[in-house]
């Protein structure tokens, strides 16, 4: 039976580091952010939905979505955040379900990286949920460094999300990404060993 593992974590938590490592280990990872990006390309389902909602001001000269402008508008108010989640949620859910079902026919184990896995109620899709977490100060500094945000801008982005502590209550396993890459990779190796041993045991017992 296929095992599907959900990956999640807050902004700048280091999910890309984790997914890159998993891919190097030979595992398939469905990246929800990439799925959304593809759906937001000109002519895509999300592109049209966002254009109908926010109007042509969100487009660049090339007719594609101006992503910084789009993010600015969506994060400008809680109402916009809520409407964005509702508007895009159903379209994204359908596409992710298609990709999940396709891989479930091909892979013994695979991962789905969904930043809003808990908030948008994908929990029941997964056999395990792995949370990439780090301390608040490290998260703030990494977000400032990555996106050239001011401290207030970075703090506002983090505050707009579900807290890491709340996510920990739902997670099956927590990957602490506050330290070195080697420390993160060791945690992943241990989790993968346990996962594959469990699969082997289930197969031998069947």
Binding residues for ATP: 12-17
Angstrom distance (rounded) from CA 106 to CA 99: 11
Distances 40 to 48, 65, 88, 117, 155 between C-alpha atoms, Å: 8, 7, 10, 19, 27
Residue with tokens 């990286």: 113
Decide the pairing of beta strands 28-31 and 109-113: parallel
For the annotated binding site, the residues are 12-17
Beta strand 28-31 with 173-176 is unpaired
131 neighbors 184 (Cβ within 8 angstroms):
no
**Is 195 within 8 Å of 108 (Cβ atoms)?**
no
Supply the Cα-derived Rg of the chain in whole angstroms.
18
CA gap 133, 97 in Å, rounded: 25
Can you tell me the distance from the alpha carbon of 25 to that of 15, in angstroms, rounded to the nearest whole number? 15
Question: What's the gap between Cα 175 and its chain centre?
Answer: 14
């Amino acid at each position: 039976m296929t095992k599907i593992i959900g990956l999640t974590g807050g902004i700048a938590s280091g999910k890309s580091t984790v997914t890159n490592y998993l891919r190097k280990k030979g595992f398939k990872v469905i990246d929800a952010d990439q799925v959304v990006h593809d759906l937001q390309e000109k002519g895509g389902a999300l592109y049209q939905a966002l254009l109908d909602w926010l109007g042509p001001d969100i487009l660049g000269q090339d007719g594609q979505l101006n992503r910084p402008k789009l993010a600015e508008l969506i994060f400008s108010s809680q109402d916009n955040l809520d409407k964005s989640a509702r508007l895009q949620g159903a379209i994204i859910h359908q596409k992710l379900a298609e990709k999940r079902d396709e891989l479930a026919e091909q892979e013994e184990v695979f991962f789905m990286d969904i930043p809003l896995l808990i908030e948008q109620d994908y929990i029941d899709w997964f056999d395990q949920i792995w949370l990439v977490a780090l301390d608040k100060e490290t998260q703030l500094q990494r977000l400032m460094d990555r996106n050239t945000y001011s401290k207030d801008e970075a703090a506002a982005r983090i505050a707009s999300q579900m807290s890491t502590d709340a996510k920990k209550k739902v997670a099956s396993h927590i990957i602490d990404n506050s330290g070195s890459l080697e420390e993160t990779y060791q945690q992943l190796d241990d989790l993968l060993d346990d996962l594959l041993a469990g699969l082997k045991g289930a197969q031998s017992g069947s």
